């Protein structure tokens, strides 16, 4: 036996080496595709730096739809959606191809105009929903090379941008109304069969085109996806596509529409499953900035993205300049759109607006580029942006309403002023600044330097110390036995005094150091003091002690929910009681995949939820389109109506045991989805799973 030992070990060693080598080989193969979904915040900051500095970009919607210029038969209100809004058959739409000949197109001129407006990047439609490609694609003949023009428009623009230090970026639609493998078909497109269509093959087509777009045109700033909301697209595809594009160009920036789960036109992705680098509010400016979230408002100058010759509803220059300041004051970027004509020209009204914005930017761009969101919640006369300077902060006060009394009041600011001057004043002659209680008052000339937005610079020592009250932080507003409540502020050298009887905290009130423990309904009031003086207003919040909802006796509960499935065309939840279900049965959990069609359907689920321990539970209802959640007979979450995925929630005090629960849901068209989640004592937010559901 002992003579066998040596060779046996050798064999084992050889086998182990082979295994090790093949493992190394496999991991090398894998490492070809790097995972960019988990980069560090430092890596991310570095990649996002130019985009955050830029603040202002040009969107261009251009394609075959410029030929009909918004008109089809009697309709005059179409644009880039014309193939769908006018229900134009594919063969009919293809007839625009031989008509597309924008001989007046001049890439250098376009880039020069954007540059003169103060824009730092251009996002142009490499492909819109109609599927037509403005670039020379080996993957399709439905591109610019099939038109009489036969010039790769993307190439000319990319080169012109490179010459003028402008970032070139692509808008690329996931939805494609032309490719045979894209699904679903339009509802009205009954003539166009979907037989043999293969969505996975479409994804490969799209990836091949994206490889062309990020490989053949030099460095691309942003990939701006859109048309992601249809039922065929999902977050998994989104993560894969994000990684695919980043692997081709690691520093590229990708918008959140690469994924799924955008909440309507507000444009932000909800939940922890954010894919993409920035949120995309469309035609709207968020009410406030969002800490730690990059975003960009895209907006038209009139009412259409693509060229519409009848649309003269232009936003005023004043409106556009003030919108730019408003967006910057909330920490966002402004992507302003132009729809060029079929001849290859910007409409004159758009040119005029670019020029006027450029004139304002020539004087004031410092108050836009690389700035951060305002430290003030609101200012009656305008907006504020800011930048860090050595030992302090430079505040850019964007004054829309110039003070008639020649004194500009900056309320609720405790910093020492360093200096103030007009940004339009090249000599920076000092403006007088005086303190009046918690305000700084700046003496300004009678005449506003700019009739739309005059920028007053105010430099202060340190970081902005604004009279914001503390924040009152607790898990919920209601509780059963005891609740922990904290008073916090990130302001420096302060003490937070509080009361629990609804009175305004004075210096003699106790100081909040540890979290407060509430055992009865209480109004907590907090206020910030420094050096024995109040330096904020008072904030108040009431926390209510509640009696939990008792559990019910469930006789012989079985796993799963009862469901009834309906079909119909609704804008709001119908009264299912008056309708006949197409089918019904039991189902492990809230699941809409048992639907028989992907549009125009509804569900009602009924059963019990088994609550593990007494406590406050949060329920979340996220749906596209409408939904409602009932506990017993009581409507507790109303998320009804037509919308993209949208989440609503409620906090309920519940005893351990069974509670009767019902969910109603409907989908009209477009994407769909229903997610019912719970969070409670010892339960992280999660979908309500089979283990908790009975009937």
Q: Which of residues 52-71 bind ligand H79 (CB under 6 A)?
A: 61
Which residue stretch of 262-270, 344-352, 392-400, 491-499 sits at the interface with ligand H79 (rule: CB under 6 A)? 262-270
Cβ of residue 172: shortest distance to ligand H79, in angstroms? Answer: 11
Q: Which is nearer to ligand H79, 301 or 472 (CB)?
A: 301
Residue 81 or residue 149: which is nearer to ligand H79 going by CB?
A: 81
Closer CB to ligand H79, 342 or 645, in the complex: 645
Smallest gap from residue 226 Cβ to ligand H79 (A): 5
Minimal distance, residue 23 CB to ligand H79, in Å: 44
Residues 302-321 that bind ligand H79 (CB under 6 A): 305
Which parts of 442-481 interact with ligand H79 (CB under 6 A)?
none
- Stretch of 192-200, 259-267, 463-471, 543-551 contacting ligand H79, by CB under 6 A: 259-267
How far, CA to CA in Å, does 538 sit from each of 46, 410, 413, 517, 529? 39, 20, 16, 20, 11
Q: How far is the CB of 183 from ligand H79 (least distance, A)?
A: 16
Number of residues interacting with ligand H79: please give it, by CB under 6 A. Answer: 13
Q: Which two tokens stand for residue 477?
A: 């507003």
Compute the least distance from the CB of residue 347 to ligand H79, in Å: 17
The correct pick among 264, 271, 392, 403 for binding ligand H79 (CB under 6 A) is 264
Select the residue interacting with ligand H79 from 229, 268, 295, 617 (CB under 6 A).
Answer: 229
Q: Which range, of 257-265, 419-427, 452-460, 541-549, touches ligand H79 by CB under 6 A?
A: 257-265
Give DSSP secondary structure letters for 60-127. E--SGGGTTTT-BTTB---STTHHHHTT--HHHHHTTGGG---TT--HHHHHHHHHHTT--EEEEEEE
Between 285 and 441, CB nearer to ligand H79: 285
User: What is the dihedral sign for C-alpha 386, 389, 393, 397?
Assistant: negative
Residue 449 C-beta: closest distance to ligand H79, Å? 35
Closest CB to ligand H79 among residues 83, 497? 83
Site for ligand H79 in 530-559 (CB under 6 A): none
Least Cβ distance, residue 303 to ligand H79 (angstroms): 12
Binding residue for ligand H79, selected from 130, 226, 311, 604, defined by CB under 6 A = 226
Please say which residue, 282 or 667, places its beta carbon nearer to ligand H79.
282
DSSP 295-356: BEEEEESSS-SS--TT---PPPHHHHHHHHHHHHHTT-EEEEEE---TTS---HHHHHHHHH
Q: Which residue number, 282 or 459, has a Cβ lying nearer to ligand H79?
A: 282
Residue 646 beta carbon to ligand H79: minimum distance, rounded to whole angstroms? 9
| Cα–Cα distance for residue pair 437/675, rounded to 1 Å | 51
| Closer CB to ligand H79, 129 or 353, in the complex | 129
Which residues contact residue 577 at a Cβ distance below 8 angstroms, ignoring those fewer than 6 apart? none
- The nearest distance, CB 178 to ligand H79, in angstroms, is 15
Phi, psi dihedral angles at 174 (to 5 degrees): -75, -45
Compute the distance between CA of residue 311 and CA of residue 383 in angstroms, rounded to an integer. 31
Dist CA 281 CA 273 (whole Å) = 18
Helix axes 235-248, 199-215, angle to 10 degrees: 30
What is the rounded CA–CA span in Å between residue 92 and residue 321?
A: 41
CB of 586 to ligand H79, least distance (A): 32
Q: Which is nearer to ligand H79, 49 or 265 (CB)?
A: 265
State the Cα–Cα distance between residues 487 and 495, nearest whole angstrom: 10
Choose between 306 and 464: whose C-beta lies nearer to ligand H79: 306
Q: Quick one: residue 643, left, alpha or beta (phi over 0 = left, psi -120 to 50 = alpha)?
A: beta
Pick from 122, 160, 260, 298 the residue near ligand H79 by CB under 6 A. Answer: 298
Asked if residue 265 binds ligand H79 (CB under 6 A), the reply is: yes
Stretch that binds ligand H79, among 100-108, 233-241, 260-268, 476-484 (CB under 6 A): 260-268
Residue from 143, 176, 282, 468 that binds ligand H79 (CB under 6 A)?
282
Question: Exposed, middle or buried: residue 467 (CB in 10 Å: 0-12, 13-18, 19+)?
Answer: middle
Enclosing H/E stretch for 3: helix 2-31
Site for ligand H79 in 369-428 (CB under 6 A): none
| C-alpha distances in Å from residue 261, one per residue of 221, 231, 269, 279, 617 | 24, 11, 5, 11, 24
Q: Give burial (CB, 10 Å; 0-12/13-18/19+) of 682.
A: exposed
Contact 479, 543 (CB under 8 A): yes
Distance of CA 522 to the CA centre of its chain: 37
Q: Which stretch binds ligand H79 (CB under 6 A): 146-154, 236-244, 261-269, 489-497?
A: 261-269
Question: Between residues 403 and 641, which has the closer beta carbon with respect to ligand H79?
Answer: 641
Indicate the residue among 281 and 464 with the shorter CB distance to ligand H79: 281
Residue 488 to residue 507: CA distance in whole angstroms: 17
Query: Nearest distance from residue 264's CB to ligand H79, in Å?
Result: 4
Least Å distance, CB 179 to ligand H79, is 17
Cβ nearer to ligand H79, comparing 238 with 644: 644
Interface with ligand H79, residue 354, by CB under 6 A: no
Question: Which of the residues 636 through 675 are near ligand H79 (CB under 6 A)?
Answer: 644, 670
Indicate whether 268 belongs to the interface with ligand H79 (CB under 6 A).
Answer: no
The two three-digit tokens of residue 171, written as one number: 């808008």
Print the SS3 string covering 434-481. Answer: EEECCEEEEECCCCCCCCCCEEEEEEEECCCCECCCCEEECCCCEECC
| Residues in region 477-516 near ligand H79 by CB under 6 A | none
Min separation Cβ 81 and ligand H79, Å: 6
**Beta bridge partner(s), residue 673:** 624
Distance between CA atoms of 209 and 278, rounded to whole angstroms?
A: 23
Distance of closest approach, residue 261 Cβ to ligand H79, in angstroms: 10
Do the Cβ atoms of 77 and 86 come closer than 8 Å?
Answer: no
Nearer to ligand H79, 61 or 659 (CB): 61
Would you say 80 or 143 has its CB closer to ligand H79?
80
CB 571 within 8 A of CB 644: no
Measured CA to CA, the distance from residue 327 to residue 357 in angstroms comes to: 15
- Minimum distance from residue 85 beta carbon to ligand H79 (Å): 10
Instruction: Provide, rounded to whole angstroms, the least separation between the CB of residue 319 and ligand H79.
Output: 19
459/667 with CB nearer ligand H79: 667
Are 455 and 399 spatial neighbours (Cβ–Cβ below 8 Å)? yes
Per-residue binder mask for ligand H79 (CB under 6 A), 71-110, x = binder: ---------xx-----------------------------
Residue number with the shortest CB distance to ligand H79?
A: 644
Contact residues for ligand H79, defined by CB under 6 A: 61, 80-81, 226, 229, 262, 264-265, 282, 298, 305, 644, 670
């Amino acid at each position: 036996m002992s003579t066998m030992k040596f060779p046996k070990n050798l064999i084992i060693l050889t086998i182990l080496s082979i295994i090790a080598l093949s493992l190394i080989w496999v991991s090398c193969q894998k490492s070809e595709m790097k995972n960019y979904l988990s980069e560090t915040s430092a890596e991310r900051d570095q990649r996002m730096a130019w985009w955050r500095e830029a603040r202002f970009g040009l969107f261009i919607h251009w394609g075959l739809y410029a030929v009909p210029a918004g008109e089809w038969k009697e309709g005059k209100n179409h644009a880039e959606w014309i193939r769908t809004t006018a229900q134009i058959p594919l063969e009919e739409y293809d007839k625009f191809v031989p008509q597309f000949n924008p001989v007046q197109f001049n890439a250098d001129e376009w880039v020069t105009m954007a540059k003169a407006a103060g824009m730092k990047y251009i996002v142009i439609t490499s492909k819109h929903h109609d599927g037509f490609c403005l670039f020379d694609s080996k993957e399709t003949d439905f591109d610019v090379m099939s038109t009489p023009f036969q010039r790769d428009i993307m190439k000319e623009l990319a080169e012109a941008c490179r010459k003028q230090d402008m970032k070139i970026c692509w808008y690329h639609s996931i939805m494609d109304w032309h490719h045979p493998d894209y699904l679903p078909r339009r509802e009205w497109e009954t003539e166009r069969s979907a037989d043999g269509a293969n969505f996975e093959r479409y994804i490969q087509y799209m990836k091949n085109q994206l490889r062309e777009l990020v490989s053949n045109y030099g460095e691309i700033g942003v990939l701006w996806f859109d048309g992601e909301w249809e039922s065929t697209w999902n977050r998994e595809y989104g993560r894969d596509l994000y990684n695919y594009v980043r692997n081709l160009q690691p520093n590229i920036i990708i918008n959140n529409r690469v994924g799924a789960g955008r909440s309507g036109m507000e444009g932000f992705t909800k939940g922890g499953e954010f894919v993409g680098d920035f949120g995309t509010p469309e035609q709207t400016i968020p009410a406030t900035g969002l800490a730690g979230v990059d975003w960009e408002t895209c907006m038209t100058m009139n009412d259409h993205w693509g060229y519409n010759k009848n649309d003269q509803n232009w936003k005023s220059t004043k409106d556009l300049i003030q919108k730019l300041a408003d967006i910057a004051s909330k920490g966002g970027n402004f992507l302003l759109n132009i729809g060029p004509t079929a001849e290859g020209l910007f409409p004159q009204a758009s040119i005029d607006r670019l020029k006027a914005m450029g004139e304002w930017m020539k004087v004031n761009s410092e108050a836009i580029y690389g700035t951060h969101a305002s430290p003030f919640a609101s200012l009656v006369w305008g907006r504020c942006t800011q930048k860090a300077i050595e030992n302090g902060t430079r505040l850019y006060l964007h004054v829309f309403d110039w003070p008639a009394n020649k004194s500009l009041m900056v309320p609720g600011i405790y910093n020492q002023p360093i200096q103030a001057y007009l940004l339009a004043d090249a000599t920076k002659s000092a403006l007088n600044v005086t303190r009046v209680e918690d305000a700084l008052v700046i003496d300004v000339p009678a005449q506003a330097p700019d009739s739309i937005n005059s920028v007053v610079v105010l430099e202060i020592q340190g970081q902005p110390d604004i009279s914001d009250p503390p924040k009152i932080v607790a898990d919920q507003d209601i509780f059963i036995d005891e609740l922990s409540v904290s008073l916090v502020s990130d302001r420096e050298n302060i003490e937070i005094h509080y009361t629990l009887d609804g009175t305004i905290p004075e210096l003699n009130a106790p100081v909040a150091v540890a979290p407060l423990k509430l055992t009865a309904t209480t109004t907590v009031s907090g206020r910030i003091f420094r050096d024995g003086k109040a330096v904020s207003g008072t904030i108040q919040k009431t926390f209510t002690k509640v009696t939990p909802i008792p559990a019910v006796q469930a006789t012989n509960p079985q796993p799963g929910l009862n469901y009834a499935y309906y079909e119909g065309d609704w804008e709001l939840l119908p009264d299912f009681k008056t309708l006949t279900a197409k089918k019904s049965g039991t189902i492990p959990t809230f699941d809409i995949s048992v639907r028989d069609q992907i549009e125009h359907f509804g569900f009602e689920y009924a059963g019990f939820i088994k609550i593990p321990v007494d406590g406050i539970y949060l329920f979340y209802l996220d749906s596209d389109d409408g939904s409602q959640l009932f506990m017993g007979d009581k409507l507790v979450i109303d998320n009804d109506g037509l919308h993209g995925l949208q989440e609503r929630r409620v906090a309920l005090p519940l005893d351990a045991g069974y509670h009767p629960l019902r969910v109603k849901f409907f989908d009209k068209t477009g994407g769909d989805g229903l997610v019912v989640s719970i969070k409670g004592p010892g339960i992280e937010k999660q979908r309500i799973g089979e283990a908790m559901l009975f009937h």
